[in-house]
Amino acid sequence: MQKIEMGMEEPWFKDPGVADIFGGRADIQTVEGASIIIRIDDGILDLVELTVARFHGDDEWVWDTPDSYGYAKDLPAAKAAATKRGWHEAMVRLREEVATEVVDPLDRIAKTAAAAVRKRRRKE
């Protein structure tokens, strides 16, 4: 059976290098990024990149994932929204790549990940 691992291997980090994804509207000093890494049998299958930033002269924060984006009232809310959507996208990608015999374990991984995000959000 394949060994599947998913996780955010590094915390959110300042990443002004990706500010161009916001079309020049982002305050470069506020851009942060993180990635959800999907590994199968010790090889990286894919990753879901998460980015947050504040736009020039705007009080709201924007969050971005490969398949979606949105706005939030503050930085913790933007990170939480990006993380939640990022985990969803990671699960979709993983399900597209692996055999159907692992659907039940994937559901357990998703539920565990969602519970961890909710727990982390309560602490903030």
Place of tokens 């374990």: 105
Please indicate, yes or no, whether the overall pTM of this predicted structure exceeds 0.85: no
* H/E run at residue 64: strand 61-64
- The distance from CA 37 to its chain's CA centroid, rounded to whole angstroms, is 9
Query: Percent of the chain at pLDDT above 70?
Result: 91
- Average pLDDT (76-93) is 93
Can you tell me the distance from the alpha carbon of 19 to that of 15, in angstroms, rounded to the nearest whole number?
A: 8
pLDDT, one tens digit per residue, over 18-42 is 777 788 888 888 999 999 988 877 6
Identify any residues that bridge with 13 across adjacent strands, giving them in sequence order. Answer: 33
- Average pLDDT (78-94) is 91
Note whether 32 and 15 are within 8 A (CB).
yes
Task: Say which amino acid occupies 101.
Answer: E
